[in-house]
């Protein structure tokens, strides 16, 4: 993929013949995924199990979604702060609009969302959003499994009860001649995220040297996997939560979809003991995910650069080696 100044952003192809646990191809993928997540905190995954037809249809339906009256959009409220409908001119940016579909792999939950937006119902939206959301959940699980295998851990070491929240976003073009922040720089607070866009490349990732890498050439079958703060904590700081942002330019509307892994109430984020030793002393305390979210969304923490919030909330100083 083409990137700014010679930093090679990882592109990993998930061919179905390599996706059998234990075979050589699987181990090669595990190592690549781990290396990408340790170096960049994210990578481009080429995954054609989610068909381009479903994906394109989803973006077409999102164009219908943004046309529903504001009174209906306002009904998209989630119990989590800052999730739910966020209209243009919010804290995110003047040019952003986002909806949140809670528990997207659960058909009834998708139906409830559709009923709020289209009181007469919208079976096509339900089918496509549920299919896409469920497939994104499967892809995320696959990537987690690769991370577990690459560290030689047991299956239970990253076993959480969670839901997948699918955020559907639109970025409007800024005034002519201007380059604008569509989504401010941040690390994700859910455990991990998969992002895709309607072929309008505007996502940027911060590399270790502080340089922003523009993801300009994602394939139509690609998704961007992003390590969130809790996954970084789980891995004892080996995996990096990637700072990312969306920079928009005057031309077309950009639509994107992000599938976030949200642990259920009461979930404790805990580093497996196998990832702690003399060389890798424990960096973060165990913490309750919801308490971390409350911290993040409490003032004044929310207004600060989010790249440091995990450290402020959970870092052990000094790190401990047992
Ligand atoms: O729209 C995008 O590509 C990214 C959105 C994002 O980073 C987020 O919702 O956390
Ligand atoms: Fe994000």
Query: 244 in ligand 1 pocket by Cβ < 6 Å?
Result: yes
Task: For residues 41 and 33, give the distance between their C-alpha atoms in angstroms, rounded to a whole number.
Answer: 10
**Closest-approaching ligand to the CA atom of 258:** 1
Query: Which residue, judged by its Cα, is nearest atom 1 of ligand 1?
Result: 256
Q: How far is the CA of 44 from the centre of ligand 2 (A)?
A: 15
**Closest-approaching ligand to the CA atom of 62:** 1
Q: How far is the CA of 187 from the centre of ligand 2 (A)?
A: 6
Mutate to test the pocket of ligand 1, among 44, 98, 169 (most ligand atoms within 8 A of CB): 169
Q: Is the pLDDT of residue 281 over 70?
A: yes
Query: 97 in ligand 1 pocket by Cβ < 6 Å?
Result: no
* Mean pLDDT of all residues in 160-188: 92
pLDDT in the model for residue 3: 46
Query: Of 58-62, 179-183, 231-235, which gets the smallest average pLDDT?
Result: 179-183
Q: Is the pLDDT of residue 9 over 70?
A: yes
Q: How far is the CA of 203 from the centre of ligand 2 (A)?
A: 10
pLDDT in the model for residue 305: 67
Query: 195 in ligand 1 pocket by Cβ < 6 Å?
Result: yes
pLDDT digits (tens, 9 = 90+) for 118-144: 999 999 999 999 999 999 999 999 999
* Mean pLDDT of all residues in 18-36: 97
Query: 239 in ligand 1 pocket by Cβ < 6 Å?
Result: no
**Closest-approaching ligand to the CA atom of 99:** 1
Distance from the Cα of residue 181 to its chain's centroid:
18
Query: 166 in ligand 1 pocket by Cβ < 6 Å?
Result: no
**DSSP of 243-270, one letter per residue?**
PEEEEEESSS-EEEEEEEEEEPTTPEE-
**Closest-approaching ligand to the CA atom of 86:** 1
pLDDT in the model for residue 320: 75
pLDDT digits (tens, 9 = 90+) for 33-80: 999 999 999 999 999 999 999 999 999 999 999 999 999 999 999 988
Tell me, what's the ipTM? 0.99
**Percentage of the residues of the chain whose pLDDT score is greater than 70:** 95
Ligand 1 atom closest to the CA of 195, numbered from 1 = 3
Q: How far is the CA of 194 from the centre of ligand 1 (A)?
A: 9
Cβ burial 13-29 (10 Å sphere, 16+ → b, else e): ebeeeebeeeeeebeeb
Q: Is the pLDDT of residue 4 over 70?
A: no
**Closest-approaching ligand to the CA atom of 202:** 1
H or E segment at 163?
A: strand 162-171
pLDDT in the model for residue 102: 96
Q: What tokens appear for 242 in the block?
A: 């990637």
Query: 203 in ligand 1 pocket by Cβ < 6 Å?
Result: yes
* Residue 266 or 208, more confident: 266
For the CA atoms of the chain, what is the radius of gyration? 19
Query: 258 in ligand 1 pocket by Cβ < 6 Å?
Result: yes
Query: Which residue, judged by its Cα, is nearest atom 2 of ligand 1?
Result: 256
Q: How far is the CA of 258 from the centre of ligand 1 (A)?
A: 6
Query: Which residue, judged by its Cα, is nearest atom 9 of ligand 1?
Result: 258
pLDDT in the model for residue 1: 45
180-183 long-range contacts, CB within 8 A, separation 24+: 180/93, 180/94, 180/95, 180/247, 180/248, 180/249, 181/93, 181/245, 181/246, 181/247, 181/248, 182/93, 182/95, 182/96, 182/245, 182/246, 182/247, 182/248, 182/254, 183/92, 183/93, 183/96, 183/245, 183/246
Query: Of 102-116, 198-212, 241-255, 300-314, which gets the smallest average pLDDT?
Result: 300-314
* Mean pLDDT of all residues in 263-270: 96
* CATH number for the domain whose boundaries are 11-314: 2.60.120.330
Mutate to test the pocket of ligand 1, among 193, 201, 214 (most ligand atoms within 8 A of CB): 193
């Amino acid at each position: 993929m083409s990137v700014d100044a010679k930093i090679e952003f990882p592109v990993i192809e998930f061919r179905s013949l390599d996706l059998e646990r234990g075979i050589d191809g699987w181990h090669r993928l595990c190592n690549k995924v781990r290396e990408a997540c340790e170096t960049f905190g994210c990578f481009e995954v080429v995954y054609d199990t989610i068909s381009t037809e479903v994906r394109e249809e989803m973006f077409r339906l999102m164009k219908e979604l943004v046309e529903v009256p504001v009174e209906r959009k306002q009904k998209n409220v989630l119990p989590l702060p800052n999730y739910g409908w966020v209209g243009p001119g919010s804290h995110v940016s003047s040019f952003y609009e986002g909806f949140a579909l809670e528990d997207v792999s659960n058909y009834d939950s998708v139906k409830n969302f559709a009923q709020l937006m289209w009181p007469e119902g919208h079976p096509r939206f339900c089918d496509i959003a549920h299919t896409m959301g469920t497939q994104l959940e499967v892809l995320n699980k696959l990537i987690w499994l690769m991370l577990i295998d690459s560290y030689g851990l047991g299956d239970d070491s990253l076993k959480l009860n969670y839901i997948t929240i699918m955020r559907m976003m639109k970025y409007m073009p800024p005034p002519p001649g201007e380059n604008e922040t569509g989504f401010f720089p941040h690390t994700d607070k859910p455990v991990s995220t998969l992002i895709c866009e309607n072929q309008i490349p505007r996502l940027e990732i911060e590399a270790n040297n502080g340089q922003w890498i523009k993801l300009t050439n994602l394939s139509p079958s690609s998704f961007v996997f992003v390590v969130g703060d809790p996954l970084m904590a789980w891995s004892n700081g080996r995996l990096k939560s990637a700072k990312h942002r969306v920079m928009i330019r005057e031309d077309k509307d950009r639509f994107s979809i992000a599938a976030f892994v949200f642990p259920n109430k009461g979930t404790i984020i805990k580093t497996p003991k196998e990832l702690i030793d003399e060389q890798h002393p424990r960096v973060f305390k165990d913490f309750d995910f919801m308490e971390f979210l409350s911290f993040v969304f409490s003032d004044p923490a929310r207004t600060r650069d989010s790249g440091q919030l995990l450290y402020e909330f959970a870092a052990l100083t000094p790190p401990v080696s047992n």
